[in-house]
Structure 1
Amino acid sequence: MNAEARIVLVGIGPTTADALESLRARFTVAALVRPGEDDTTRLAAKLGIPVEPGTRIADIEALVDRLAPDAVVVSSYDRILPDRLLARCPFVNVHYAPLPRGRGRANVNWAIVNGDPETAITVHSMAPGLDAGGILYQEPVPIGPRDTVTDLYDRLNARQRAVLADAVARRLSGDEGDPQDHDAATYGCTRLPEDGEIDWAAPTAATDRLIRALTPPYPGAFTHLGLDTVVVHRAEPAPDAAHYTGRVPGRVVAVNRTGEGWVDVLTGDGILRIHEIAVDGAEPVPAATVIRSVKTTLGLRLADVLALLRGRT
């Protein structure tokens, strides 16, 4: 039965391509639900898999009613599916967190932001409740001390590609997975682009983690240089940092103009070395090509806002 099973894949994020590769090797993928055009939709089209751009709940309900698949697999989707839809056929979800810990949103980002030593890939049956269904497969994935969210997604996606089809086959056999301990559940809230603003009064390690948690495909951690928005693409705690007993968080204290082009910036407890930045959506450049003075303070200060307001009067 499994070899002939028909699967609908729903995915709008960076995990879907590897889900497609895993599923197509084992099942018939009857449709891919994904908006727009990108490498994933082009691969599906090349394989003769219909691409359905409608991602609303009503669109998916209509598609399931029309195709009557043996199962629906969800890999990167930003809505909670209603119980009436989950009752139509088996639904399986890919979740990058060690459920029951890490239910909800932005789990890979939160794992790095929070300094967790590992996360996990969990494949689970979908049931009423947020990420509450039985676990079909779970595997821990370590987080290295300099890992970015890009690095972590690469490893998680590789594991998904290896294990997803077997987990779906387990669900198709009638097994709903191992029940979760709901009393042990924790949750992550949605992250918005504006949540990436750097607070220079925070500890160096926390600021470094925030930057690493928002690398592509995310829009990046950002600060302000005057009234310009500056995305920090690459940074690290400064090695052998001097100790400042008089500190202004966000103040530039060193500019490397002739070498690698980094700048050192005071944080709440140390110094962050910034290597690459992008100003107002431009291409990344060495930080010292833009930030040139130790009199510079990063971050949108009240003085900057007042200057903007005065310029409008």
Structure 2
Amino acid sequence: MPRVVLVGVGPTTATALAGLLDGFEVAALLRAGEDEATALAARHGVPVVGDTSVASLRQVVERVRPDAVVVSSYDRILPPDLLAGRPFVNVHYAPLPRYRGRATVNWAIINGEPDAHIAIHCLVPELDAGGLLFTGSVPIGPADTVSTLYEQLNELQRRHLGDAIRRRLGGDTGTPQDESAASYGCTRLPEDGEIDWTGSAVSVDRLVRALAPPFPAAYTYLGLRRLLVHRAEARSDAPRFEGRVPGRPVGRSAAEGWVDVLTGDGVLRLHTVRLDGDGPAPAADVIRSVKQTLGLRTSDLLARIAGLEDRLAARTSDPAGAVTP
């Protein structure tokens, strides 16, 4: 039975391991922490290495000497000399050669792509550039979030990863990628999720779905508190507004929990939100008035600055140095 090492740090590793256990001896799993993937490894007697650095991977490979190394959800570039020792196979959730790089499923939703993709390919020194051993896709529906798409792509990985590894071990280097068609997705940071209410309702809806939990979530501001949007939808039957203030609530149902908010061209219905430090709640329980505007506003910042100046002035004039509450 072929021996493999599996390395991964993201949400695809558990199903990669499940797809390998039937036909391979998994000699080690490199993954930090304790979760579904490490629990599955423990049940099947797979040693878990918590150090996921390149140096640690090199040590494991030198010690175990596997027939192949499988990479699923890893955020490091592997050096050419390490790749030269044996076959390395990578799982990438994108339609290679398009969307090489990071946050590919998130970008697919944000950019309005019709499908989300998986590519299992030979790992070479260039970023996501090796020959393709398997490709597949799932449609992106209007209610799909990044989590529901990961679930579907993970299932494709579980079903097809073993066959791709066996092909590689048999000498298949895959279908070459067309370098002229290559494109890239850059890293996304939590602060990239701020909602621009002047955008279209569809674009804001896509951002919310692309960053839905367990990702950090798209966010806006209610006053000066960050408001994270967990679930929303663009209304197709919204009233027509000739005068609009993007970010302004224009409807609210305490009974059903939703709040309708104007965007640049339509209305987004907020269902579930969360103020920083609080738990998720119906939007109507948090946004209680239509006489406010979501988003970080200059007037809110100026009011906070004026309040701080008043407190500083009071402290300066108080001979005891007390701070006025």
RMSD, aligned α-carbons: 1.0
Q: Which amino acid aligns with 1:27?
A: F
User: For 2:230, which of 233, 239, 252 is the aligned residue?
Assistant: 233
In the superposition, the TM-score normalised over structure 2's length comes to: 0.93
Q: CA deviation at 1:265?
A: 0.5
User: For 1:307, which of 281, 297, 303 is the aligned residue?
Assistant: 303
**C-alpha separation in 2, matches of 1:106 and 1:125:** 20
Which residues of 2 match residues 134-153 of structure 1 at below 5 A?
134-153=131-150
In the superposition, the TM-score normalised over structure 1's length comes to: 0.96
* Identical counterparts, % of pairs: 61
Partner of 1:172: 169
Cα offsets for 1:134-175 (capped at 9, x unmatched): 000111221112211111011000111100000000011111
Which residues of 2 match residues 1-313 of structure 1 at below 5 A?
4-257=1-254, 259-313=255-309
Q: Does the 8 A contact of 1:14 with 1:217 survive in 2?
A: no
**C-alpha separation in 2, matches of 1:75 and 1:281:** 33
Aligned length: 309
- Stretches of 4+ moved more than 6 A in 1? none
Q: CA deviation at 1:119?
A: 2.1
Q: CA deviation at 1:126?
A: 0.3
Q: Does the 8 A contact of 2:137 with 2:153 survive in 1?
A: no
**C-alpha separation in 2, matches of 1:225 and 1:306:** 15
**C-alpha separation in 1, matches of 2:151 and 2:208:** 17
Q: Does the 8 A contact of 1:113 with 1:209 survive in 2?
A: yes
**C-alpha separation in 2, matches of 1:262 and 1:250:** 15
Structure 1 gap segments, 5+ residues each:
none
**C-alpha separation in 1, matches of 2:64 and 2:307:** 60
Structure 2 gap segments, 5+ residues each:
310-325
Q: Does the 8 A contact of 1:36 with 1:53 survive in 2?
A: yes
**C-alpha separation in 2, matches of 1:281 and 1:156:** 32
Cα offsets for 1:203-245 (capped at 9, x unmatched): 1000000000011221111111011111111111124211111
Q: CA deviation at 1:310?
A: 2.7
Q: Which amino acid aligns with 1:269?
A: D
SS of corresponding position for 1:312 = helix
SS of corresponding position for 1:9 = strand
**C-alpha separation in 1, matches of 2:176 and 2:130:** 7
